[in-house]
Amino acid sequence: MKIVVCIKQVPDTEAEVKWDLQKGTLKREGMDSITNPFDEFALEEALLTKEKYDGEIVAITMGPDKAMDVLRNALALGVDQVYHINDPAIAGSDTLGTSYVLAKAIEKVGNVDLVFCGKQATDGNTGIVSPELATRLGFSQLTFVAKVDEIDAAGKKIKVQRGIEGGIETVEAKLPAVVSVSKGINEPRLPNLMGIRKAAKVQIPAWDCDAIGAAKDKVGTEGSHGKVVELTTPPPRSAGEMLKGEMEEVANVLVGKLLDLKVIK
């Protein structure tokens, strides 16, 4: 079984996030970066699948030179092969451009049975790259997966549990499939020292658009269908009003204010 896991480097949201209000983009220079937290669950699920069903894991990321860090972390955890898609032309790609590039890279890997993705990235929070990826590849699409029940590699089938509003839905689909996992599907492991040292010595292959057969007019800002037209910071919140006095008096004042604001009738 050949498994691909798509991972992304994102700004560490626990650090100070800075914006370029004119361009409508994050100021990534000088910011601490981490593996997208949702992708950590996808990576762990790929590792668990390999351990249970045997196979090969290929991790792919798309981004600037610094994005290699997430691939080294994947290697330290036990991924077999990694590929870094790095081309100035892809900068500023929207979700359609991103899914297009990833699909081209997965096609280049070839003979893929499963693609694992996190349900969303913390920098964009769109949650639509994995469905777009499945559509481009012609793979089965499984989103919000909370548990992988069974994989039948010979029979080309997979059974999963999807978290839906008000319950759990059990779904069976054909392989190959793109599986978008939810937070909490597993407990992501940490790399050990030996794995980190080994990964540090690996020469990571880099692919540009030409290497994966991606047309440059379909990526980057030129190929994007969606653009940020305005980015503003929310106005500061005003201080709350403290009501003091006896309970009955405070309750009457509060009800009066709620009526004035038309919160209640």
Q: How many domains does the chain have?
A: 1
Any domain includes 250: no
Q: Which two tokens stand for residue 229?
A: 């037209």
Any domain includes 157: yes
Per-residue pLDDT tens digits for 162-186: 988 889 999 999 999 999 999 999 9
Q: Does the structure show a pLDDT above 80 at 29?
A: no
Q: Which residues pair with 174 in a beta bridge?
A: 157
What pLDDT does 13 receive?
67
Any domain includes 72: yes
pTM comes to: 0.82
- The H or E element containing residue 99 is helix 95-109
| Cα–Cα distance measured from residue 80 to residue 72, given in angstroms and rounded to the nearest whole number | 11
- Candidates 49, 7, 26, 1; CA nearest to 153 is 1
Residue 73: pLDDT band with limits 50, 70, 90: very high
What pLDDT does 18 receive?
65
Residue numbers of the domain that contains 183? 2-223
Any domain includes 89: yes
- Is the link from the previous residue into 235 a cis peptide, with omega within 30 of 0? no
Using DSSP's 3-state secondary structure scheme, residue 200 falls into helix
Q: Which two tokens stand for residue 206?
A: 């880099």
Any domain includes 28: yes
Any domain includes 205: yes
Any domain includes 95: yes
CATH number for the domain that contains residue 132 = 3.40.50.620
What pLDDT does 4 receive?
98
Any domain includes 148: yes
